Amino acid sequence: MPLALVALSVGAAPAQYLRGVNLAGAEFGDGVLPGVYGRHYTYNSEQTFDYFAARSLNFIRLQVRWERLQPVLGGPLDPVNLGYLKQDIAWAKAAGAVVSIDAHNYGRYRINEQGSLKEYILDNVYNGVVKVSTANLTDFWVRLSNEFKYEPSVLAYDLMNEPHDMGSADWRQISQAVLNAIRGNLDTKLIMIPGNSYSSATAWPNVNGFAGWIVDPANHFYYEAHEYFDHDYSGGYAWSYDQELAANPQLATVGVTRLQPFLNWCRNNSVPCYLGEYGIPNNDARWLGVLDQFLSALDAAGMPGTYWAAGEWWGAYPLSVQPLGDFAIDRPQTRTLLAHLAPGAFTTISAAADFGYAVAPGALVSGYGGGLAGGTQAAANLPLPTKLQDAEVRLTDVNGAITMAPLVLVSPSQINYQAPAGTPTGRVDVTVLRGGTAVASGVLEVRPIAPTIFSANNSGSGIAAAQVVRVKSDGTQSYENVAAYDANQGKFVGAPVNFGADQLVLLLYGTGFDSADAGQTTVSIGATPLSVQYSGAQHQFPGLDQINAPLPPSLAGTAEVTVNVTVGGKAANAVTVLFQ
């Protein structure tokens, strides 16, 4: 389904807005320009676009560096870096995401002069000469417009990241001139207009004036602000949460407070607006509450937003939401972002565990959204129905074939369903229908094998939702659960596995690997590898898979131990078993 950022007047409830992330890397290494690709800077891989599109964070503010795309002011675009950018945009398109190209230059351009990089501010005079001008910036954007004005997956042009300390330059005049040039190039694409002074949401009226300044014949632009929640507004988060709280006892609502000046300005001027950057560190869970309240205010305003930041080179950067573990493990901030997706978003994950972004043909999955069904109903019989209550899930695969998904359960906020067996790998567009009318949509990324293991607490971690088969010396067998509900703790805990003189076989249940076999599967408990007797479909319930692995007596007394599984070379989520 094509995505569009519907123009809105903040203060009226919008039909739709997008949420997503900033995707950094191409602007890295700005002290070495142009730099060496893969050493000083990077463009992100296809998997990153697949991951965020599957998470319904499908609006990508894609950072670029002006000097790399146009090494000589007024000259042609560099074909190599333009090629990297086009590849990323093609990957975004294939994944079902849209892109806003962000010139991440802060109102400046760096020129190599006699072996030294010198930074020059737009339209400022240096020794009687303007080194970089409005005309240079308009030339750059017209050249990019020539490349992308007919590419629908490039949703927007973000004219300049965080212009600040502009000296004698007038950013309002500069941004209007660039917009005029793009429109003069017969390009009506959405244009993001950042504000001066680092685009601060809090300082917006004071630094940009109390009235809007853009006149757009296409009427297709957004004013863009940025906001961070630390004491100096920088996003550096140099202080701990406790230090921030001591300085500001209203820290829990600081995001809402700092948003208000920009939000009021947008409403007073009846103009569409956008939050291009916001982010929190992952070093204290209390920041998640700050982000949650801020996003609730953004939701209420119907304002699009992109979190800072994602990108494959961030490493331990505390604000990063780039997934870990080969794209299998979400960062702490991601769950909060997923609670504030755009209206009509439908995000699907494995029914066994929120682990990884891909699903396999035949797997059991859970999709989340709002207004998905008129009530709650579970499938009563097999085969699974394709309609429950008034809800259906329509899947359109990479070849354009349409299938209605088998449904396990529907409710207003969640639909459990099965990805049909035989679904080809690649992107699948998912549409939730109520009474035949589309009410939500998203994408699946389908891979041949995507193993996940059920846990007793439905969290994808902790005690496994598994069984042990006890085989006595006379050949009789009995089944024992490895988890038991503890009413005092209000959760499942380990039921100790006692070997005695019997032979024990561990039965793990999961989904996403019914096409595998024992030879493709490894299981280890702690440092002990197990032999695998069986791996594949469970055969009693559609989509449920099973692994059988004998337990060696040497595990007796090892207490609660981690179980690690790989299938087809793909790691599953880790669970635990308690041994007595």
- pLDDT tens digits along 31-58: 999 999 999 999 999 999 999 999 999 9
Q: Which one of the listed residues 277, 312, 392, 445 is annotated catalytic?
A: 277
The residue out of 342, 366, 397 marking a domain boundary is 342
The one-character DSSP state at 455 is: B
Whether residue 322 has pLDDT greater than 60: yes
Q: For residue 241, what pLDDT is reported?
A: 98
Residue 380 domain flag: yes
Q: For residue 17, what pLDDT is reported?
A: 86
The residue out of 283, 318, 342 marking a domain boundary is 342
The yes-or-no answer on residue 224 being catalytic is no
Regarding whether 426 and 277 lie in a shared domain, the answer is no
pLDDT in tens, 351-389: 999 999 999 999 999 999 999 999 999 999 999 999 999
The neighbour count for residue 232, using CB atoms within 10 Å, is: 10
pLDDT in tens, 490-540: 999 999 999 999 999 999 999 999 999 999 999 999 999 999 999 999 999
Q: For residue 10, what pLDDT is reported?
A: 33
Q: For residue 16, what pLDDT is reported?
A: 58
Whether residue 5 has pLDDT greater than 70: no
- Cα-based angle 140, 43, 64 (whole degrees, multiple of 5): 25
The beta strand positions in 44-133, using DSSP E, are: 59-64, 98-103, 108-113, 116-121, 125-126, 129-130
Regarding whether 424 and 312 lie in a shared domain, the answer is no
The yes-or-no answer on residue 119 being catalytic is no
Predicted TM-score (pTM) of this structure: 0.94
The residue out of 394, 425, 446 marking a domain boundary is 446
* Percent of the chain topping pLDDT 70: 97
Regarding whether 182 and 45 lie in a shared domain, the answer is yes
pLDDT in tens, 491-505: 999 999 999 999 999
CATH number, position 522: 2.60.40
- Which range of residues forms the domain containing residue 420? 348-446
Whether residue 1 has pLDDT greater than 90: no
Regarding whether 29 and 168 lie in a shared domain, the answer is yes
Whether residue 155 has pLDDT greater than 80: yes
Regarding whether 466 and 353 lie in a shared domain, the answer is no
Per-residue pLDDT, averaged over 438-442, amounts to 97
Regarding whether 359 and 326 lie in a shared domain, the answer is no
Residue 276 domain flag: yes
Whether residue 8 has pLDDT greater than 90: no
Per-residue pLDDT, averaged over 404-425, amounts to 97
Regarding whether 101 and 123 lie in a shared domain, the answer is yes
Cα–Cα distance measured from residue 566 to residue 32, given in angstroms and rounded to the nearest whole number: 41
CATH number, position 368: 2.60.40.10
Q: Which one of the listed residues 27, 162, 227, 392 is annotated catalytic?
A: 162
Regarding whether 96 and 40 lie in a shared domain, the answer is yes
Per-residue pLDDT, averaged over 266-291, amounts to 98
Regarding whether 96 and 37 lie in a shared domain, the answer is yes
Q: For residue 13, what pLDDT is reported?
A: 32
For all residues of the chain together, what is the average pLDDT? 96
Residue 390 domain flag: yes
pLDDT in tens, 470-490: 999 999 999 999 999 999 999
Regarding whether 391 and 422 lie in a shared domain, the answer is yes
- Number of structural domains found in the chain: 3
Residue 3 domain flag: no
Regarding whether 496 and 395 lie in a shared domain, the answer is no
Q: For residue 11, what pLDDT is reported?
A: 31
Per-residue pLDDT band at 4 (split at 50, 70, 90): very low
CATH number, position 264: 3.20.20.80
Regarding whether 313 and 420 lie in a shared domain, the answer is no
- For residue 71, give the nearest of 118, 140, 147, 174 by alpha carbon: 140
Burial class, 71, CB count within 10 angstroms (exposed 0-12 / middle 13-18 / buried 19+): middle
